[in-house]
Structure 1
Amino acid sequence: MLMGYSFADLGSIFAMQAFAGLSLFSVFLLMALGLAIIFGQMGVINMAHGEFMILGAYVTYLCSGFFSAFLPGLYAIYFLVAMVLAFVVAGALGMAVEWLMIRHLYRRPLDTLLATWGLSLVLQQAYRSIFGAREVGVELPEWMMGSTHLSETIDIPINGLFVMALTVLITACVFAMMFRSSWGKKVRAVVQNRTMAGAVGIDTERVDRYTFGIGCGIAGVAGSAFTMIGSTGPTSGQLYIVDTFLVVVFGGAQSLLGTIASAFSISQAQSTMEFFLSGSMAKVLVLLGVVGILMLRPQGLFVIKVRR
Structure 2
Amino acid sequence: MTADIFLTQVFNGLSLFTVLALMAIGLAIVFGLMGVINMAHGELMALGAYVTYLTSLGFSRWLPALMDAYFIVGLAVSFLVTAAVGYVLERVLIRHLYQRPLDTMLATWGLSLILQQAYRQVFGPVDVSVPTVSWLRGAWNPAADIAIPLNRLFIVALTLAVAGAVYVFLFRSRWGLRIRAVMQNRAMAGAAGINTERVDAVTFAVGCGLAGVAGCALTMLASTGPMTGQQYIVDTFIVVVFGGIESLLGTFLSAFTIGQLQSLFELGLSASMAKAAILLLVIVALYFRPNGLFAVNIRR
Give TM-score, length-normalised by structure 1: 0.96
Q: CA deviation at 1:176?
A: 0.7
Secondary structure at the aligned position of 1:229 is classed as coil
**1:249 counterpart (226, 230, 241):** 241
Amino acid at match of 1:235: M
Q: CA deviation at 1:275?
A: 2.5
Aligned to 1:93: 85
**1:125 counterpart (113, 117, 122):** 117
4+ residue segments displaced more than 2 Å: none
Q: CA deviation at 1:12?
A: 1.1
Q: CA deviation at 1:151?
A: 0.7
- Cα distance between partner residues in 2 of 1:182 and 1:304: 21
1:161-193, Cα deviation, whole Å (9 max, x unpaired): 100110011000001111111111100110111
Q: 1:130-141, aligned counterparts within 5 Å?
A: 130-141=122-133
1:237-284, Cα deviation, whole Å (9 max, x unpaired): 000000000000000011011001100000000011112211001000
**1:155 counterpart (140, 147, 153):** 147
- Cα distance between partner residues in 2 of 1:289 and 1:208: 33
Secondary structure at the aligned position of 2:140 is classed as strand
Q: CA deviation at 1:199?
A: 0.8
Secondary structure at the aligned position of 1:300 is classed as coil
- Cα distance between partner residues in 1 of 2:223 and 2:36: 29
**1:44 counterpart (32, 36, 53):** 36
- Cα distance between partner residues in 2 of 1:76 and 1:230: 19
Aligned to 1:105: 97
- Cα distance between partner residues in 1 of 2:174 and 2:64: 41
- Cα distance between partner residues in 1 of 2:276 and 2:107: 28
Secondary structure at the aligned position of 2:143 is classed as coil
Amino acid at match of 2:226: P
Q: 1:11-90, aligned counterparts within 5 Å?
A: 11-90=3-82
- Cα distance between partner residues in 2 of 1:146 and 1:155: 9
**2:159 counterpart (167, 170, 175):** 167
- Cα distance between partner residues in 2 of 1:30 and 1:136: 21
Secondary structure at the aligned position of 1:275 is classed as coil
- Cα distance between partner residues in 1 of 2:145 and 2:219: 26
1:109-159, Cα deviation, whole Å (9 max, x unpaired): 111100000000011111111101110001111111110001111111000
Q: CA deviation at 1:304?
A: 1.1
Aligned to 1:190: 182
Q: 1:206-221, aligned counterparts within 5 Å?
A: 206-221=198-213
Q: 5+ residue gaps in structure 2? A: none
Give TM-score, length-normalised by structure 2: 0.99
Secondary structure at the aligned position of 2:148 is classed as strand
**2:287 counterpart (284, 295, 301):** 295
Q: CA deviation at 1:203?
A: 0.3
Aligned to 2:219: 227
Q: CA deviation at 1:295?
A: 0.6
- Cα distance between partner residues in 1 of 2:207 and 2:31: 9
Amino acid at match of 1:94: G
Secondary structure at the aligned position of 1:277 is classed as coil
- Cα distance between partner residues in 2 of 1:276 and 1:304: 36
Aligned to 1:181: 173
Secondary structure at the aligned position of 2:299 is classed as coil
Q: Once superposed, what is the RMSD of the aligned Cα atoms?
A: 0.7
- Cα distance between partner residues in 2 of 1:74 and 1:21: 32
Give the paired residue count.
Answer: 300
Aligned to 1:258: 250
- Cα distance between partner residues in 2 of 1:231 and 1:123: 18
Secondary structure at the aligned position of 2:267 is classed as helix
- Cα distance between partner residues in 2 of 1:274 and 1:70: 43
